[in-house]
C-alpha cells in the first residue's frame, strides 16, 4: 500500500527540554520510543519556540505566526477574534482539526460579544478553542487558592478520576499531583520538597496515560474516518513535579546532569536576567536541594511520556496509521531546572527556548532522510505551513509566517533557508518588570539566533545580551557589553530590524492576488487615472466609456433647450 499523508498527529509535550531525550544526548534518561520516532523521521536539533511562555508559544504554533503578530503575548491573554488558526486553514482544505489535551487558549470573549459570535455555536466553539474541535480539552492546571480556581472550566480529567472512584473533589490536586507523606497526609506536588514522593494515583490513571487513552479513543472514533489533524497535547512533564510509581523512583542524585551555570554569570549580569535570577523561582532553583528533588521527578515524568509514546506508536502501527499519518513530536518550551541560576522558562538560553522537534513523514519521498538530524534553524511556526504542504494545500504565506519543513524531510537542499530565528518574551505582567520600573510596552525581549550567535534585545534602554554559540555553547559568557563585538551586535540588530519591519497584518489579500493587480486592472473598470486624451488609451478599453457617445449628450433636467440653442 502506498504510504501517504492522510492525517496528521501533532503531539506536544509541555515544558519538555530539548536535551532530556536520549536521542538528543541525555546521559541517563533513556527514551527509546521517542528515539524510535526520530529514527523514522527527521529530528530538528535547532528548533526554537516563538515565545518562552506556554500561552504565547502555543498561540504561535496554532496560528503559524509570531507572537507580536497574533498579539496573545502572555498566558491567558486572549487570542483576538479574527486571528486565523490551523483549524481555519485545514478545514478550508477538507481536513478536520481536533484537540485532545491542552492549548492554554483564552477566548476573546469581549471580541466575540462585539461581533455577536455565540460560544454555543459551532463557529463560536472553534473561535473559543483556538480553531480546534474539542475531543478533550484539559489544560491540566486545576489549582485552587484563596481566590478560587485558576481554571474555572470543567476538568474532564477530574471527572475521569472521580468516575474511577477517587473520592476527592479535586483528585488532580490530591492524587495525580500529590503524594502521601510519612504521617499519611497529603504531600502536595505544589511543594517541590515533595517531588520524590510517588503520586497517590494508579499509574494508568495519571495524566499522561489518561491523555494517551483519550487520543486512542479519538483514533477509534467515527470522526477519525475523515482526514484529520489531531493535536495531542500533553500536560506533562510540566510542574507540579511529581510522578506515580514506578517512575518516581527510577532516577536519583547520580542521574542529575550538572547544572549549566557558572559563578561568573552572577557578576554584573544583564539587568533583566538579574531580575529573573532574583525572582522566587530563580532563587529556588539555585538551591541544590531543589534540583535534587525536582530533576529525578522531571526525568520520571519524561520517562513516563516516552513509555506512553511507545503505547501510542504501537497502536498507530497496529491500526495502520503509521502508513497514512504524519507525526510531529515537540514541546511548547523547555525548563531551566537550575541552569543559569534560573527555574521555569521565560528567558532565551537553550534550556528554555530550544525544543525537541521530530517530524515523521510516511511518504516514500521521506525514506532517504529517516533517522537524520537537521541543524537547520526551525521555528515552531514552521509546522503550520508544513502541515499545509503535507496535505497538498496551498500555503497562505500572507498569513502564515513560518516556512514548510518539507524540503528537509525530502532531502532537498534549502540554500535560501532563514539565516536567523526569532523568539519573543513579553514580561510586562511580571514582578521583574515591576522591579525594573518598566512600562508594559518596555518590558519586552526579542531573541535572534543564527548559526553562531544568540542575541537578545531588551526594550527599555538596556544593553543587549550576546552569546557566541561556537566558543561558548553553554551560553555562560554574555558578550552584550563587549566592545569587541560591536560589529556582531550591529549585524544582529540589522536582523531584528528587518524582522520587525515584516508585513504581518496584510492577511486579507494574497501575494498572488497582488501580483495579478499589477497589470492595472482598474482601467478595465473605467478608472482612467491620469489620462489627458482618449488617444492615450487602447481603444478597446474605451468601449464602455465611449459607448454612451452615440446616444448623444446626457441631458440634465431643463437643459435640452439650452443644448439645442447652442447647436445651430
- In the region spanning residues 232 to 261, those forming contacts with a copy of itself, defined by CB under 8 A, are 239
What three-state secondary structure class fits 566?
Answer: helix
Peptide bond into 388 cis (omega under 30): no
DSSP string over 341-382: G--SS-S-SHHHHEE-EEEE--SGGGGGGTTEEE-S-EEGGG
Which residues in 120-139 contact a copy of itself (CB under 8 A)? 121, 123-124, 127
Supply the angle between the helices 207-220 and 288-319 in degrees, to the nearest 10: 20
- Shortest Cβ distance from residue 14 to a copy of itself (Å)? 14
Find the binder of a copy of itself among 5, 21, 34, 79 (CB under 8 A).
Answer: 79
Residue 188 binds a copy of itself (CB under 8 A): yes
Q: Find the binder of a copy of itself among 254, 416, 470, 540 (CB under 8 A).
A: 540
* Closest CB to a copy of itself among residues 123, 266: 123
**What is the rounded CA–CA span in Å between residue 94 and residue 8?**
13
Say whether residue 225 binds a copy of itself (CB under 8 A): no
Q: By CB under 8 A, name the one of 412, 419, 452, 506 that touches a copy of itself.
A: 506
- Taking residue 431's Cβ as centre, other Cβ atoms within 10 Å add up to 13
Site for a copy of itself in 436-495 (CB under 8 A): 439-441, 444, 446, 459, 493
Q: Is 339 in the site for a copy of itself (CB under 8 A)?
A: no
Which residues from 268-287 bind a copy of itself, rule CB under 8 A?
279-285, 287
Residue ranges in 291-320 that form contacts with a copy of itself under rule CB under 8 A: 293
User: Quick check: 433 binds a copy of itself (CB under 8 A)?
Assistant: yes
Considering the rule CB under 8 A, would residue 528 count as an interface residue with a copy of itself?
Answer: yes
Closer Cβ to a copy of itself, 45 or 63, answer by number = 63
Which parts of 341-360 interact with a copy of itself (CB under 8 A)? 343-344
By CB under 8 A, tell whether 368 contacts a copy of itself.
no
Task: Please report how many Cα atoms fall inside a 13 Å half-sphere around the Cα of residue 426, on the Cβ side.
Answer: 22
Q: Taking a C-beta distance cutoff of 8 angstroms, is the pair 86, 360 a contact? A: no
Left (φ > 0), alpha (ψ -120 to 50) or beta: where does 248 sit?
A: alpha
How many other CB atoms sit within 10 Å of the CB of residue 115? 12
What number of chain residues touch a copy of itself (CB under 8 A)?
A: 138
- Determine the interface stretch with a copy of itself among 209-217, 252-260, 377-385, 514-522 (rule: CB under 8 A): 514-522
Q: Centre a 10 Å sphere on the Cβ of residue 250 and count the other Cβ atoms it contains.
A: 18
- Contact status, residue 235 vs residue 139, Cβ threshold 8 Å: yes
Residue 287's contacts (CB-CB under 8 Å, 6 or more residues apart) are: none
Cα 42 off chain centre by? 19
Please report, as residue ranges, which positions from 2 to 31 form the binding site for a copy of itself (by CB under 8 A). Answer: none
Least distance between a copy of itself and beta carbon 102 (Å): 15
Task: Report the site for a copy of itself in 38-67 (rule: CB under 8 A).
Answer: none
Which range of residues in 21-29, 168-176, 352-360, 369-377 is near a copy of itself by CB under 8 A? 168-176
- Find the part of the chain contacting a copy of itself (CB under 8 A) among 13-21, 26-34, 80-88, 225-233: 80-88
Q: Which is nearer to a copy of itself, 343 or 480 (CB)?
A: 343
Cβ 544 to a copy of itself shortest distance, Å:
5
**Helix, strand, or coil here: 187?**
strand
Q: Which one among 33, 58, 70, 485 touches a copy of itself, defined by CB under 8 A? A: 70
Separation of alpha carbons 43 and 408, rounded Å: 10
Specify the residue, 24 or 433, whose C-beta has the smaller distance to a copy of itself.
Answer: 433
Q: What is the DSSP letter of 198?
A: B
Q: Exposed (0-12), middle (13-18) or buried (19+): which is 491, by Cβ within 10 Å?
A: middle
Helix%, strand%, coil% for the chain, nearest 5: 40, 15, 45
Site map for a copy of itself, 86-115, x if CB under 8 A? --x-------------------x-xx--xx
Measured in degrees and rounded to the nearest 5, phi and psi for residue 421 equal -110, 160
Residue 371 CB coordination number (10 Å): 13
User: Is residue 185 a contact residue for a copy of itself (CB under 8 A)?
Assistant: yes
What part of residues 373-432 is at the interface with a copy of itself (CB under 8 A)? Answer: 426, 428-431
Backbone angles phi, psi at 285, to 5 degrees: -75, -5
Closer residue to a copy of itself (CB): 202 or 216: 202
Would residue 101 be called left, alpha or beta, if left means φ above 0 and alpha means ψ between -120 and 50 degrees?
left
> In the set 249, 252, 317, 545, which binds a copy of itself (CB under 8 A)?
545
Quote the least distance from Cβ 42 to a copy of itself, whole Å. 28
Amino acid at each position: 500500500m502506498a504510504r501517504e499523508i492522510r492525517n496528521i498527529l501533532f503531539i506536544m509535550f509541555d515544558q519538555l527540554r530539548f536535551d532530556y531525550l536520549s536521542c538528543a544526548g541525555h546521559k541517563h534518561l533513556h527514551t527509546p520510543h521517542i528515539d524510535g520516532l526520530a529514527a523514522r523521521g527527521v529530528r530538528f536539533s535547532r528548533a526554537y519556540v516563538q515565545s518562552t511562555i506556554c500561552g504565547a508559544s502555543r498561540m504561535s504554533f496554532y496560528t503559524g505566526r509570531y507572537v507580536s503578530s497574533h498579539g496573545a503575548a502572555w498566558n491567558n491573554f486572549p487570542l483576538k477574534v479574527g486571528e486565523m488558526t490551523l483549524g481555519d486553514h485545514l478545514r478550508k482544505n477538507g481536513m478536520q482539526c481536533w484537540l485532545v489535551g491542552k492549548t492554554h487558549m483564552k477566548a476573546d470573549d469581549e471580541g466575540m460579544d462585539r461581533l455577536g459570535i455565540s460560544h454555543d455555536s459551532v463557529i463560536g466553539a472553534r473561535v473559543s478553542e483556538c480553531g480546534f474541535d474539542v475531543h478533550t480539552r484539559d489544560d491540566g492546571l486545576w489549582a485552587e487558592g484563596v481566590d478560587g480556581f485558576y481554571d474555572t472550566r470543567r476538568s474532564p480529567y477530574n471527572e475521569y478520576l472521580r468516575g474511577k472512584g477517587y473520592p476527592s473533589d479535586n483528585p488532580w490536586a490530591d492524587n495525580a499531583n500529590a503524594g502521601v507523606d510519612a504521617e499519611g497526609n497529603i504531600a502536595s506536588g505544589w511543594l517541590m520538597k515533595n517531588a520524590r514522593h510517588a503520586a497517590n494515583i494508579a499509574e494508568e490513571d495519571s495524566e499522561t496515560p489518561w491523555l494517551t487513552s483519550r487520543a486512542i479513543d479519538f483514533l477509534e472514533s467515527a470522526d477519525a474516518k475523515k482526514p484529520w489533524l489531531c493535536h495531542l497535547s500533553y500536560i506533562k512533564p510540566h510542574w507540579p513535579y511529581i510522578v506515580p510509581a514506578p517512575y518516581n523512583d527510577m532516577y536519583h542524585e547520580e542521574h542529575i546532569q550538572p547544572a549549566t551555570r557558572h559563578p561568573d554569570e552572577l557578576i554584573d549580569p544583564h539587568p533583566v536576567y538579574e531580575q529573573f535570577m532574583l525572582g522566587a523561582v530563580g532563587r529556588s532553583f539555585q538551591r541544590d536541594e531543589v534540583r535534587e528533588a525536582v530533576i529525578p521527578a522531571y526525568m520520571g515524568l519524561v520517562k513516563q511520556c516516552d513509555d506512553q509514546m511507545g503505547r501510542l506508536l504501537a497502536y498507530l502501527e497496529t491500526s495502520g496509521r503509521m502508513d497514512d499519518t504524519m507525526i510531529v513530536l515537540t514541546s511548547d518550551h523547555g525548563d531551566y531546572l537550575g541552569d543559569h541560576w534560573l527555574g521555569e522558562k521565560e528567558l532565551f538560553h537553550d534550556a528554555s527556548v530550544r525544543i525537541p522537534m521530530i517530524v515523521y513523514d510516511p511518504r516514500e519521498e521521506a525514506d532517504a532522510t529517516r533517522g537524520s538530524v537537521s541543524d537547520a534553524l526551525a521555528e515552531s511556526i514552521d509546522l503550520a505551513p508544513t502541515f499545509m504542504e503535507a496535505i497538498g494545500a496551498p500555503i497562505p504565506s500572507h498569513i502564515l509566517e513560518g516556512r514548510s519543513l518539507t524540503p528537509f524531510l525530502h532531502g532537498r537542499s534549502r540554500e535560501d533557508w532563514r539565516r536567523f530565528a526569532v523568539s519573543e518574551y513579553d514580561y510586562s505582567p511580571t514582578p521583574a518588570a515591576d522591579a525594573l520600573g518598566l512600562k508594559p510596552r518596555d518590558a519586552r525581549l526579542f531573541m535572534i539566533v543564527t548559526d553562531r550567535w544568540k542575541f537578545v534585545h531588551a526594550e527599555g534602554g538596556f544593553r543587549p545580551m550576546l552569546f557566541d554559540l561556537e566558543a561558548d555553547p553553554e551560553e555562560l559568557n554574555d558578550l552584550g557589553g563587549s566592545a569587541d563585538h560591536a560589529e556582531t551586535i550591529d549585524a544582529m540588530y540589522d536582523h531584528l530590524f528587518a524582522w520587525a519591519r515584516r508585513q504581518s497584518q496584510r492577511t486579507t489579500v494574497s501575494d498572488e492576488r497582488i501580483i495579478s493587480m499589477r497589470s492595472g486592472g482598474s482601467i478595465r473598470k473605467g478608472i482612467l487615472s491620469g489620462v489627458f486624451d482618449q488617444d492615450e488609451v487602447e481603444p478597446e478599453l474605451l468601449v464602455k466609456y465611449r459607448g454612451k457617445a452615440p446616444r448623444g449628450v446626457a441631458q440634465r433636467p431643463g437643459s435640452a433647450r439650452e443644448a439645442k440653442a447652442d447647436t445651430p
